[in-house]
Amino acid sequence: MVIDILIAGAGQAAAQLALSLRQRGHTGTIAMIGEEPYPPYERPPLSKDYLSGQRETHRLFLRKPEAWAERRIDLHLGCRVAAVSPAARRVTLADGRQLDYGWLVWATGGRPRALSCPGADLAGVHAIRGIADIDRLKGDLTAPKRIVVIGGGYIGLEAAAVLRGLGHTVTVVEMQDRLLARVTSPVVSQYFLDLHRRHGVDVRLSTGVRALRGAGRVTGAELSDGTTVPADIVIVGIGIIPNVEPLAAAGLSCPNGVQVDAHCRTDDPHILAIGDCALHPNPYAGGLVRVESVQNAVDQAKVAAETILGTPKAYDAMPWFWSDQYDLKLQTAGLCAGHGQVVVRGDPSRAPFTAAYLRGGRLVGLDCVGTLKDFVQGKALVTRQAVVDPARLADPAVELKTLA
Which of the listed residues 308, 339, 360 is the one where a domain comes to its end? 308
- The upper half-sphere exposure of residue 378, i.e. CA atoms within 13 Å in the direction of its Cβ, equals 29
How far apart are alpha carbons 75 and 8 in whole angstroms?
Answer: 11
Nearest to 72 by CA among 31, 101, 38, 41: 31
| pLDDT tens digits in sequence order for the chain, 404 residues long | 799 999 999 999 999 999 999 999 999 999 999 999 999 999 999 999 999 999 999 999 999 999 999 999 999 999 999 999 999 999 999 999 999 999 999 999 999 999 999 999 999 999 999 999 999 999 999 999 999 999 999 999 999 999 999 999 999 999 999 999 999 999 999 999 999 999 999 999 999 999 999 999 999 999 999 999 999 999 999 999 999 999 999 999 999 999 999 999 999 999 999 999 999 999 998 899 999 999 999 999 999 999 999 999 999 999 999 999 999 999 999 988 878 899 999 999 999 999 999 999 999 999 999 999 999 999 999 999 999 999 999 999 999 999 97
Same-domain check for residues 226 and 257: no
| Residue 314 domain-assigned (yes or no) | no
CB contact burial 187-223 (16+ within 10 A = b; e otherwise)? ebbebbbebbeeeebebbbebebeebbbeeebbbbbb
Same-domain check for residues 274 and 226: no
How far apart are alpha carbons 371 and 381 in whole angstroms?
Answer: 16
Is the omega angle on the peptide bond into residue 45 within 30 degrees of 0, that is, cis? no
Distances (CA, A) of 143 to 31, 159, 257, 293: 43, 17, 40, 33
Same-domain check for residues 102 and 123: no
Same-domain check for residues 104 and 138: no
Same-domain check for residues 7 and 102: yes
| Residue 313 domain-assigned (yes or no) | no
Same-domain check for residues 106 and 125: no
Same-domain check for residues 42 and 141: no
How far apart are alpha carbons 357 and 366 in whole angstroms?
Answer: 6
CA torsion through residues 345, 347, 349, 352, sign: negative
pLDDT at 275: 98
**Strand runs (DSSP E) across 19-72, as ranges?**
30-34
pLDDT at 1: 79
Same-domain check for residues 332 and 232: no
Amino acid at 45: P
How far apart are alpha carbons 103 and 270 in whole angstroms?
Answer: 5
Q: Which domain holds residue 125?
A: 114-236
Same-domain check for residues 61 and 175: no
Which of the listed residues 252, 277, 308 is the one where a domain comes to its end? 308
| Residue 42 domain-assigned (yes or no) | yes
pLDDT at 6: 98
Same-domain check for residues 119 and 184: yes
How far apart are alpha carbons 14 and 393 in whole angstroms?
Answer: 39
Residue 348, domain CATH = 3.30.390.30
| Residue 368 domain-assigned (yes or no) | yes
Nearest to 114 by CA among 277, 240, 256, 221: 240
SS3 percent helix, strand, coil of the chain, rounded to 5, is 25, 30, 40
How far apart are alpha carbons 313 and 26 in whole angstroms?
Answer: 17
Which of the listed residues 202, 236, 270 is the one where a domain comes to its end? 236
Q: What angle do CA 325, 326, 331 make, to 5 degrees?
A: 35
| Residue 318 domain-assigned (yes or no) | no
In this structure, the chain runs to a length of 404
Using an 8 Å Cβ cutoff, are 253 and 259 in contact? yes
What are phi and psi for residue 27, nearest 5 degrees? -110, -5
Same-domain check for residues 13 and 122: no
CA torsion through residues 23, 26, 31, 34, sign: negative
How far apart are alpha carbons 349 and 121 in whole angstroms?
Answer: 40
| Residue 37 domain-assigned (yes or no) | yes
Strand partners, 362: 359, 387
In what order do the strands lie in the sheet containing 320-325?
320-325, 328-334, 362-369, 353-359, 341-345
Burial status of residue 363 (CB atoms within 10 A of its CB: 0-12, 13-18, 19 or more): buried
User: How many structural domains compose the chain?
Assistant: 3
All residues at 6 or more sequence positions from 402 whose CB lies less than 8 Å from its CB, including other chains: none
| Residue 89 domain-assigned (yes or no) | yes
How far apart are alpha carbons 254 and 370 in whole angstroms?
Answer: 38
| Residue 322 domain-assigned (yes or no) | no
Residue 194, domain CATH = 3.50.50.60
Please, what's the largest Cα pairwise distance for the chain? 64
Same-domain check for residues 232 and 124: yes
Amino acid at 47: S
